[in-house]
Structure 1
């Protein structure tokens, strides 16, 4: 056992804030590395903790096999599905979901309001220099029922932001608990909700969540309802959603898609009832600093535990 926890931190410019935070942390030794490299130096290979870079976090996956002393993988993302299948058994994988709750929930709120208040149509009218009075039908969040699939940090932050608008929120998680319904109840819960938000991001993408929003799921949504996906693209069956959009029965706001990036010739681009952002809901000034603040706090707790593995409750 060493006196300090050796932590691999990307040497790229986006990760400078992380190197500085961790360098000022007692019990931690920062070891910079190049996430584009295929080989680690002997000093780097002895690291206890690996932090993938803020951008392109999947790039160092191939380095895992060289880390013989690895005790923890600390991600800066909200989801863990890219890394979980590759990390050796018994090594904890911690995410930075707390850091993303604010920016992502803000994106969700903005997407809902953009669609309900018909801003895409208004911008098109503006492009044509048309005074569109009484030419569009706006809706309101007041008294609307909103179903949020995913009751983690992002789901709860979204619910909190919706409350002042007078929306009535139903939270759904993997298991039922106080104030949260189980996913097994979704079929019965979907009807009657004006907006359905998907924020299933923290747990790895599994057979249970892949294609969760399928043809039957969408068919149970009320006509005119809005689907918002800020979770994982593969949670939604793109072909099934396309059918609903083409018929004009549903609308959508998507920050993630399947496939991703969305090809330029994909028919999803052409649907008038959808708005699409390029997986950028979390991207606001200072997001990387927020992510490293969460990472630093968890690594500090790890160091204080004398390099003992983190319990699942800590992650």
Structure 2
């Protein structure tokens, strides 16, 4: 009797910890496949290798029962759902990136408010330029997208003595820290927010959510922080606000992405840009291996997988 094939993007530090009732092949986007894709029943998508690589083997995997991403967002995989066999499930990374992305959201917020980019530019020239900068303390913060990452961001905000944290989720609900408001309340919440942190997944409902109307409701001098997906923000509308000097932004994601050399967003005043590094950190590998051990144990035992976000 043959054992089910599983494709992994890397060899875990302790292969013996994986279920021995499965056969493993390792593929991280190379040109050649490590085994016959027609035998694969669980496919773990290579991490940050691009959309084309992520979906390339799917059409050749007729026995596939599960696709596991190592990303919180699955917008790059959803168009490929029709290629999956009936009954196949798509799982996201669950809590894998909560800590790392929340850290970066806080780092971007603090750096932008406290003028760190300007200090870094002045340092090589030996310019000593003290000034008065905005503290995170006593600021009113709005988190748009209150899932695992949004909650982890709030956990890290509170020790900085912010005046208020408001939350917006896809539907209103109660959380251990207070109410998460629905999208209908977003306009009123924006008018009070001095820092707006975007942590929502990219869906049809959130694509272009941060448009001219959204930005226009933010108070003068407010800071927009985006650690979700670039296409949640209307780049043209954001550029207009940055170039007027009315708003500031700290962006880990952009639209387009990668941001081409010469794009006006690079030179816009009041913007700090990092190259989509919310997830890639030293926290990734050990947490990814833990996630895969748990999911593979469930798969081998015939138990329901966790973090299922779509099914064929």
Q: TM-score, normalised to structure 2's length?
A: 0.88
Report the CA distance between 1:310 and its aligned residue. 6.3
Shift of the 312–279 alpha-carbon distance from structure 1 to 2, 3 Å rule, reads closer
1:62 aligns with 2:50: no
How far apart, CA to CA, are the structure 2 residues paired with 1:107 and 1:85? 29
Aligned length: 302
**Other-structure match for 1:186:** 186
Report the CA distance between 1:38 and its aligned residue. 6.5
Residues 92-143 of structure 1: CA distance to partner in whole angstroms, max 9, x if unpaired?
Answer: 111114111111100010111101111122233334323323xx33111112
Cα-Cα RMSD: 2.4
Report the CA distance between 1:229 and its aligned residue. 0.5
**Other-structure match for 2:254:** 257
Shift of the 60–238 alpha-carbon distance from structure 1 to 2, 3 Å rule, reads closer
**Other-structure match for 2:40:** 47
SS of aligned partner of 2:11: helix
Report the CA distance between 1:4 and its aligned residue. 4.5
State whether residues 105 and 158 of structure 1, in contact with CA within 8 Å, keep that contact through their aligned partners in structure 2: yes
How far apart, CA to CA, are the structure 2 residues paired with 1:170 and 1:278? 27
Shift of the 298–200 alpha-carbon distance from structure 1 to 2, 3 Å rule, reads same
Report the CA distance between 1:272 and its aligned residue. 2.6
1:194-233 equivalences in 2 (<5 Å): 194-201=194-201, 205-233=202-230
Q: Structure 1: which 5+ runs fail to align?
A: none
Shift of the 216–162 alpha-carbon distance from structure 1 to 2, 3 Å rule, reads same
Shift of the 181–128 alpha-carbon distance from structure 1 to 2, 3 Å rule, reads same
Between 66-75 and 47-56, report the one with greater CA deviation. Answer: 47-56
Q: Structure 2: which 5+ runs fail to align?
A: none
Q: TM-score, normalised to structure 1's length?
A: 0.88
- 2:96 pairs, out of 96, 99, 102, with 99
1:76-225 equivalences in 2 (<5 Å): 76-87=70-81, 88=84, 90-133=87-130, 136-167=131-162, 168-178=164-174, 179-201=179-201, 205-225=202-222
